[in-house]
Amino acid sequence: MANASGTPERGRVIAGWLILLGLIIAGFIATVVTLNQTVFSAQGFVTHYLEALERRDVPAALATEGVTAVEGASDSLLAPDALGELSDIDIVAEEVFPDVRVVTVAYTLDGVAGETEFFVEPSGNRFGLFYGWSFARSPISVLEVTPLHAAEFTVNGIRLSSAGANQPSAWQVLTPSRYVLSHDSRYLTATDVPVRVTTPNSIVPAEVDVQASAEFVSQLQDEVDSFLQDCAAQQVLFPSGCPFGLPIDDRVESAPQWSIAEHPVISLVPGDTSDVWVAPETAGVAHLSVEVRSLFDGSLSRVEEDVPFTISWAVTLREDGGVSIDVL
């Protein structure tokens, strides 16, 4: 009797365990399916990469499968400080093609809305259960910068130098990103140039137009004014080393008195090399006052005459931070 009554009981226990096992297996399968549709989906793969950029985790972004370096381009901008502020990441579309999926993502980059298409391809399975993905087009792009009239410039505050003034050089950058190119040194400056890199595996050209700063021009103006005042202090008809003078046929009876009636207004333009800046030929007016005696009739008179002149300067920026100024 005991054996007969125990058999149905064991059957019910076994059936219960089988049902529980079935539920566990079904739950596991459902979990795998859910993870493959979210975390391990093409969208999840792209989101993982973008979240690394959002938290400025450059090593994690670079370690993402399919992120490949660009040969011959500097990696100086593959740094947390070089990245813009990325936020509001939102997958807006996914297109499925035979060999690739195109995941379109909207985001906010440094306060401005943007959108990028990422090309993703299958890359095997993880543990035989989860989808693996890789970028079909690497999200590393090239920022090609040509600094005009100087080799040095800054990108998001990072100081860089190209191969030379007016020479383009290449830097690797992560997509999407935003950069502000500029130059600010003792004598030179450049208007900020904002650049957005939103297309993976692209080349984005940019120029930084370096010009003489207002302080540089003002300093040269002071030098020119001082030089002309020294010229005016010479009581001769032709001040030595100066851009003005006046021949007089009659006999000079008093010390010539010069003054600067109109000072030339100086500007600066780039010279033939990056360290030379030129003040183009600029007009000014000197005034001469002197007593003369006529060789014809011996009469005494005073000459008051404005004397136009032009002046041009070359300014060399020295390696020690100073400048050398030469009259042309």
Domain boundary residue among 135, 151, 179? 135
Is the same domain home to 42 and 129? yes
Of 196, 212, 228, the residue at which a domain comes to its end is: 212
Q: What is the DSSP string of 161-212?
A: E-SSTT--EEEEEESSEEEEEEEE-SSEEEEEEEEEE-STT-EEEEEEE-EE
Domain total of the chain: 3
Would you report the helix, strand and coil content of the chain in percent, each value rounded to 5?
25, 45, 35
Q: Does 4 score more than 80 pLDDT?
A: no
**pLDDT (tens digit per residue) in 265-321:** 999 999 999 899 999 999 999 999 999 999 988 889 999 999 999 999 999 999 888
Task: Tell me: do 265 and 323 sit in the same domain.
Answer: yes
Of all residues in the chain, the percent with pLDDT exceeding 70 is 87
Instruction: Read off the pLDDT of each residue in 185-212 and give the average, rounded to a whole number.
Output: 96
pLDDT band at 32 (very low <50, low <70, confident <90, very high): very low
Amino acid type, 299: S
Domain final residue pick, 212, 246, 269:
212
Q: How far apart are CA 235 and CA 256, in angstroms?
A: 5
Is residue 2 scored above 50 in pLDDT?
no
Nearest to 282 by CA among 247, 243, 321, 252: 243
- For residue 198, what is the domain's CATH number? 2.60.40.10
Task: Classify residue 253 by its DSSP letter.
Answer: -
pTM: 0.80
What is the CATH number for 58?
Answer: 3.10.450
46, 91 Cβ separation under 8 angstroms: yes
Are 206 and 218 contained in the same domain?
no
Residues 123 and 54 in one domain: yes
Are residues 129 and 6 part of one domain? yes
The verdict on 185 and 89 lying in the same domain is no
Q: Are residues 196 and 235 in the same domain?
A: no
For residue 9, is pLDDT > 90? no
Query: What is the predicted pLDDT for the residue at 79?
Result: 94
Kindly give the pairing relationship between strand 188-197 and strand 211-212: antiparallel
Based on the fold, state whether residues 257 and 277 are members of the same structural domain: yes
Shared domain for 38 and 102, answered yes or no, is yes
| 60-90: pLDDT as tens digits | 999 999 999 999 999 999 999 899 899 999 9
112-116 long-range contacts (CB < 8 A, ≥24 apart) are 112/178, 112/196, 114/176, 114/196, 114/198, 115/198, 116/175, 116/176, 116/198, 116/199, 116/200
Which domain range does residue 27 map to?
A: 2-135
